[in-house]
């Protein structure tokens, strides 16, 4: 699977090659993340992928470091983003990414080939910036991706501050969740937006609680004021997320 599904992936440009300066000036740190969007090959399905995932988990235990990964499957999404299954792979540092992907490319053997035989994927890297929520890493749950564009004269740092303010506001309203900005980089092509706004909840009841606070509890109006003049985001697509690999907590 070295050419189509270098699965050390998962959810944003490594070391933020194209947009890091805007964040660096504001002392924000990027996390390397990979995203895959995949379709099953003829005759293959979820059972084949689950077997590949199990083998990958065993392999990763001794061949990767600082690496977490989630498989995502579409639940609420538009047809324009159609794919069967996705993958978000996050690394605690650039060094963890470099060491892990090197092992995957050069020493994964039948583990990576199982993915290549099962799915055909696009592969992009991005720079992920945390914008609030739970300190603990997300496990299983639900995650949404919304494509966002900066308003004139607004910076990525402005957008990050706005999303962090909204996340904090939602927490105060009793709607816990976590959020990030994923800035497109390698393999993203000519993106017609500036970044993904990514939000995650541990379950559908948790998401429903956030929805209630946002739609019926006044959160929407407050968020609109916060985002005014900063960024505009399209309606999100939502995915079920299953954690395949969890990195040890950073010391």
Give this prediction's pTM. Answer: 0.85
Closest to 247 measured CA to CA, from 88, 52, 102, 74: 88
Residue 160 pLDDT greater than 70, yes or no: yes
Q: How far is CA 5 from CA 52, 55, 82, 99, 113, in A?
A: 11, 14, 17, 17, 9
User: 42 or 16: whose pLDDT is higher?
Assistant: 42
* Higher pLDDT pick, 138 / 8: 138
Work out the average pLDDT over 23-29.
55
- pLDDT of 10: 32
Measure CA 100 to chain center.
18
Alpha carbon separation from 43 to 5, 48, 117, 157 (Å, rounded): 18, 10, 10, 46
pLDDT of residue 26: 53
Q: What is the mean pLDDT of residues 52-59?
A: 95
Of 177, 162, 150, 140, which is closest to residue 222 (Cα–Cα)? 162
Mean of per-residue pLDDT scores for the chain? 86
> Longest Cα pair distance anywhere in the chain, in angstroms?
53
Neighbouring C-alpha atoms within 13 Å toward the C-beta of 46: 7
Tell me the per-residue pLDDT of 169-221, one tens digit each, with 9 for 90 and over. Answer: 999 999 888 999 999 988 777 778 999 999 999 999 999 999 999 999 999 99
CA dihedral 216, 220, 222, 225 (to 10 degrees): -150
Q: Using the predicted structure, report yes or no on whether residue 24 has a pLDDT greater than 60.
A: no
- Dist. CA 48–CA 213, nearest whole Å: 40
Q: What is the pLDDT of residues 102-132, one digit of tens each?
A: 999 999 999 999 999 999 999 999 999 999 9
Categorize the per-residue pLDDT at 137 as very low, low, confident or very high, splitting at 50, 70 and 90: confident
Top-confidence residue, 230 or 20: 230
């Amino acid at each position: 699977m070295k050419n189509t599904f270098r699965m050390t992936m998962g959810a944003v440009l490594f070391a933020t090659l194209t947009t890091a300066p805007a964040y660096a000036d504001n002392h924000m740190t990027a996390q390397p993340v990979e995203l895959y969007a995949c379709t099953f090959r003829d005759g293959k399905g979820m059972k084949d992928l689950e077997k590949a995932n199990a083998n990958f988990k065993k392999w990763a235990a001794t061949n990767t470091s600082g690496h977490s990964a989630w498989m995502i499957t579409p639940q609420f999404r538009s047809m324009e983003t159609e794919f069967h299954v996705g993958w978000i792979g996050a690394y605690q540092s650039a060094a963890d990414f470099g060491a892990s992907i090197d092992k995957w490319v050069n020493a994964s053997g039948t583990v990576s080939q199982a993915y290549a035989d099962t799915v055909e994927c696009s592969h992009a890297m991005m720079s992920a910036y945390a914008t609030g929520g739970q300190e603990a890493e997300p496990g299983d749950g639900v995650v949404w991706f919304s494509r966002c564009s900066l308003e004139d004269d607004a910076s990525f740092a402005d957008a990050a501050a706005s999303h962090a303010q909204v996340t904090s506001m939602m927490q105060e309203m009793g709607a816990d969740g976590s959020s990030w900005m994923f800035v497109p980089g390698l393999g993203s092509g000519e993106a017609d937006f500036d970044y993904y706004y990514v939000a995650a909840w541990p379950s559908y009841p948790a998401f429903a609680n956030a929805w209630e606070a946002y739609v019926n509890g006044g959160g929407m109006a407050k968020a609109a004021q916060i985002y005014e003049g900063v960024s505009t985001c399209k309606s999100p697509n939502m995915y079920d997320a299953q954690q395949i690999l969890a990195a040890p907590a950073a010391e």
